[in-house]
Amino acid sequence: MSYSKKTLVGIIMGSSSDSKIMHAAATILDEFGVKHEDQIVSAHRTPTRLTEYAKHAEQEGFKIIIAGAGGSAHLPGMIASHTVIPVIGVPIMVYNDKNKSSNFKASAFGGLDSLLSISEMPTGSPVATVGVNKAANAGLYAIKILANEFPDLKVKLKKYKSKQHESVLRESHEMKKMGLSKFTSKKFKK
């Protein structure tokens, strides 16, 4: 079966405010042509829906769930406790920021609260955790797991890696040619 035929990844988040960060996971999956279903499921505002979502994910045959949450961030751990599907948690720094402002409000502990809540799952119910706000890495990690099953994805991942390599070489060449001061002011000038 081709990996692009079926929805393989479920993306969930605790609040619409998390979408400002979580869209990066979707963007990576889209880039690789991996289908995903995106929903809002709150562990503390919709606890029964959380149970239903776990059943839904198993019925749909999702192979990975990417779950983002901020604050005390129960969602990834609670979903993991309801299903055998591997969960990748994204700790989110945003808090109570549903308005349209582009400035993110930080949680009281700047995302460390969510990071620890997700990564410190007790033995027996693991959740893989990426860095604070690193939703793109969750997307990439999901693709790495799927690549074990789908050889085409492995080929795409290798291409992605060599593109990264080339881009560093290109920048380094530019830096060497221009000198550090000129390079920095060109690249980061306001």
Task: List residues binding ligand RP5 (CB under 6 A).
Answer: 14-15, 17-18, 42, 69-71, 92, 94-98
Distance CA 121, CA 127 (A): 7
Cβ(132)–Cβ(91) below 8 Å? yes
Shortest separation between residue 165's beta carbon and ligand RP5, angstroms: 35
- Smaller CB distance to ligand RP5: residue 41 or 64? 41
Q: How far is the CB of 17 from ligand RP5 (least distance, A)?
A: 3
Minimum Å gap between C-beta 95 and ligand RP5 is 5
The two tokens of residue 153 are: 């994805």
Nearer to ligand RP5, 62 or 95 (CB): 95
Minimum CB separation from ligand RP5 for residue 24, in Å? Answer: 15
Report the residue number, 129 or 153, with the smaller CB distance to ligand RP5.
129
* Minimum distance of ligand RP5 from residue 118's CB (angstroms): 11
Using an 8 Å Cβ cutoff, are 79 and 53 in contact?
A: yes
* 80 or 94: CB nearest ligand RP5: 94
Sorted by sequence, the CB contacts under 8 Å of residue 167 that are 6+ apart come out as: none
If the CB atoms of residues 8 and 90 are measured against ligand RP5, the closer one turns out to be: 90
Closest by CA position to 106, among listed 117, 97, 116, 95 = 95
Residue whose CB is less far from ligand RP5, 44 or 55: 44
**Shortest CB 147 distance to ligand RP5, Å:** 29
